[in-house]
């Protein structure tokens, strides 16, 4: 049998990444109305911030971020401008598939539109509003928003703030994880944005609850550091590696030349041999501060942060000593939002985390800090109380039709919180996790196309030789090169593997002049194999990928997953010996050599 299943997990991993960028039609865009099933706080209780922070009486914006305060934001925007704002978006073509890839920061496609706004009853007649977000958080129905009060009126502020941000928390069906995550970073001793919740209206229409998140800018730096004149960088698919520095975006002192000398200094320090590593890092990195940041990312399971995905973070070069401090961002995909297999006690995808973890002294320091946070930071009772408090605050503004789905999601979050400490401690007590994975390739992609037709009978899959069980045609453009199948075979049947058992598998194989064999692999529900149907490839119910055998006898390689596409069923039925005729057309995303 063709050993296609050997690459299954890699294929579906790519498809899961693509699925998170599809428009969100799930009703799980809100949090729960009631408190937890085990009681939690009384209705009139006040849990206070999880981080234990005390309000700064000298900061006029403190009341705006009070956790018990639901900020009311009412926007009036010209309908044509609102439609244009919602339509603005990022694409893979403009980000990870652009020719320059990681050579420079990602250009924002979002522009400010004029609007009027009322914030908790205070009206401002001329402000700027725009969409915000990278790939995973984009939405054209409930967009994340940045409100700039001084875009058109110099010096205009609300309670001392010129800019406010409202995150849709699209990757968090509970809407609670953003504020919980920032709370726990601060509790661990890491500077992190203040956060609470807001109800947002546009032209009188309620968009539902949002996370109201403090902007990381010079004003933020003054709250946490003695000097705000250092270089602040936002990291988006960024790392301290050659070829990865270009995407760091300078957020302060933009009038000064962007020479990247500090980024390059830390990068060079990571290239030295193990015995010299800690000494080389000393001038560039506040190591204890990084250990706090890193351990908090892991404890919160922030898979889309710096240590887990080289993404969603800020790095500040403090001018007092020139050393980098790390700040968290984009923490909606935390607290088990993306369940995964071990490891649970470490993430070391990034170059800095990986080098330190693979160094015995660095690993020991990290595990000591992680155990400290397990004991002192991850207070299960406080977290559950904060969940209940937030649920009461935003519950009244959740659309009625979404409340039950949100309740289920939030109950799952509570279960995760109860189990998290034991999960991490069990792995540490068992000796920890040996991180042997190499540094990953650059996250740069090529977009290609596939147009294939197959003709076979149901029950021919699995097969040792699809060229003997069906026919078809195959044309594709991959990495700019045209491919046309010389001999084409096909098969169809029920899958027998863990990820496709009981589902329909359509398989097409072709030979190419260079001797390689592309393999098109499609999975769908049996009840959808109906004549005349056209099925969108969504990466969830209908999944598809292109694989490749370089030469007969060699291991199968993943070419890429389908970014968009459809399966058209001309003739089909999940019945033995039933004729199957189908066409598969779509756009492939593949790694760039």
pLDDT at position 57 is 64
The token pair that represents 560 in the structure block: 């890429």
pLDDT at position 49 is 45
Q: Is residue 138 part of a domain?
A: no
Q: Is residue 262 part of a domain?
A: no
Q: Sort 527 into a burial class: Cβ within 10 Å, 0-12 / 13-18 / 19+.
A: exposed
The pairing of beta strand 488-494 with beta strand 504-510: antiparallel
Per residue of the chain (593 residues), what is the pLDDT tens digit?
232 332 333 333 333 333 343 333 322 222 223 333 333 322 233 334 454 445 566 889 999 999 999 999 999 999 999 999 999 988 777 777 788 888 888 888 899 999 999 999 999 999 999 998 776 566 778 899 999 999 999 999 999 999 999 999 877 889 899 999 999 999 999 999 999 999 999 999 999 899 999 999 999 999 999 999 999 999 999 999 999 999 999 999 877 767 889 999 999 999 999 999 999 999 999 999 999 999 999 999 999 999 999 999 999 999 999 999 999 999 998 999 888 899 999 999 999 999 999 999 999 999 999 999 999 999 999 999 999 999 999 888 888 887 888 889 999 999 999 999 999 999 999 999 999 999 998 888 889 999 999 999 999 999 989 999 999 999 999 988 999 999 999 999 999 888 888 999 999 999 999 999 999 999 999 999 999 999 999 888 999 999 999 988 889 999 999 988 999 999 999 999 999 999 999 999 888 77
Q: Is residue 515 part of a domain?
A: yes
Q: Is residue 570 part of a domain?
A: yes
pLDDT at position 405 is 81
pLDDT at position 43 is 28
Q: Is residue 434 part of a domain?
A: no
CA distances from 527 to 19, 26, 212, 381, 544 (A): 22, 22, 43, 46, 17
What's the domain range around 502?
A: 4-17+444-591
pLDDT at position 334 is 95
Q: How many domains does the chain have?
A: 1
pLDDT at position 358 is 98
pTM of the model: 0.82
Q: Is residue 483 part of a domain?
A: yes
pLDDT at position 101 is 87
Phi, psi (rounded to 5 degrees) for 233? -120, 140
Picking from 399, 412, 415, 406, the residue whose alpha carbon sits closest to that of residue 173 is 406
Q: Is residue 393 part of a domain?
A: no
- Placement of tokens 């939405």 in the chain: 139
pLDDT at position 75 is 98
Picking from 461, 457, 459, 486, the residue whose alpha carbon sits closest to that of residue 470 is 457
Q: Is residue 198 part of a domain?
A: no
pLDDT at position 5 is 31
pLDDT at position 487 is 97
| DSSP collapsed to 3 states, 125-176 | EEEEEEEECCCCCCCCCCCEEEEECCCCCCCCCECCECEEEEECCCCCCCCC
């Amino acid at each position: 049998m063709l050993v296609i299943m050997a690459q299954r997990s890699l294929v579906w991993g790519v498809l899961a990444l693509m699925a998170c960028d599809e428009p969100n039609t799930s009703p799980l865009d809100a949090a729960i109305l009631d408190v937890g099933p085990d009681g939690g706080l009384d209705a009139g209780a006040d849990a206070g911030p999880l981080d234990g922070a005390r309000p700064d009486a000298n900061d006029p914006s403190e009341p705006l971020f009070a956790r018990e305060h639901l900020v009311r934001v009412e926007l009036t925007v010209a309908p044509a401008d609102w439609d244009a704002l919602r339509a603005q978006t990022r694409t893979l073509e403009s980000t990870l598939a652009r020719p320059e890839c990681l050579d420079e920061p990602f250009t924002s496609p979002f522009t400010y539109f004029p609007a009027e706004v009322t914030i908790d009853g205070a009206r401002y007649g001329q402000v700027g509003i725009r969409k915000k977000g990278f790939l995973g958080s984009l939405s054209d129905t409930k967009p994340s928003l940045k409100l700039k009060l001084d875009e058109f009126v110099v010096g205009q502020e609300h309670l001392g703030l010129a800019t406010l941000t409202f995150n849709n928390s699209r990757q968090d069906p509970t809407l609670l994880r953003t504020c919980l995550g920032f709370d726990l970073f601060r509790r661990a001793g890491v500077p992190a944005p203040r956060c609470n919740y807001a109800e947002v209206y546009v032209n009188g229409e309620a968009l539902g609850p949002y996370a109201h998140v403090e902007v990381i800018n010079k004003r933020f730096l003054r709250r946490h550091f003695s000097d705000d004149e250092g270089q602040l960088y936002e990291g988006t698919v960024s790392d301290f590696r050659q070829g990865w520095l270009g995407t760091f975006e300078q957020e302060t002192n933009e009038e000064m030349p962007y020479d990247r000398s500090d980024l390059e200094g830390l990068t060079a320090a990571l290239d030295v041999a193990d015995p010299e590593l800690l000494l080389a890092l000393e001038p560039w990195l506040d190591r204890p501060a990084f250990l706090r940041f890193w351990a908090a990312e892991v404890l919160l399971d922030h898979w889309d942060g710096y240590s887990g995905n080289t993404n969603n973070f800020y790095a500040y070069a403090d001018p007092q000593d020139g050393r980098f401090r790390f700040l968290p961002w984009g923490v909606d995909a935390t607290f088990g939002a993306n369940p995964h297999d071990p490891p649970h006690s470490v993430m070391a995808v990034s170059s800095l985390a990986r080098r330190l973890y693979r160094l015995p002294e660095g690993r020991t320091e990290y595990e000591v800090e992680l155990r400290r946070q397990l004991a002192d930071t991850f207070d299960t009772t406080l977290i559950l109380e904060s969940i209940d408090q937030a649920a009461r605050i935003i519950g009244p503004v959740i659309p009625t039709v979404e409340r039950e789905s949100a309740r289920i999601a939030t109950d799952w979050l509570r279960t995760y919180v109860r189990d998290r400490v034991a999960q991490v401690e069990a792995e540490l007590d068992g000796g920890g996790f040996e991180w042997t994975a190499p540094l990953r390739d650059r996250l740069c992609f090529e977009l290609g196309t596939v147009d294939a037709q197959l003709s076979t009978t149901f029950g021919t899959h699995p097969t040792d030789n699809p060229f003997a069980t069906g026919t078809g045609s195959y044309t594709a453009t991959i990495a700019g090169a045209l491919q046309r199948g010389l001999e084409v075979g096909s098969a169809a049947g029920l899958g027998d593997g863990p990820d496709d058992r009981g589902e329909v598998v359509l398989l097409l194989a072709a030979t190419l002049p260079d001797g390689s064999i592309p393999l098109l692999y499609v999975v769908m529900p049996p009840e959808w194999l109906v004549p005349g149907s056209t099925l969108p490839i969504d990466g969830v119910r209908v999944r598809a990928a292109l694989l490749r055998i370089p030469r007969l006898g060699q291991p199968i390689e993943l070419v890429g997953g389908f970014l968009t596409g459809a399966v058209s069923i001309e003739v089909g039925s999940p019945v033995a010996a039933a004729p199957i005729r189908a066409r598969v057309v779509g756009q492939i995303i593949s790694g760039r050599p």
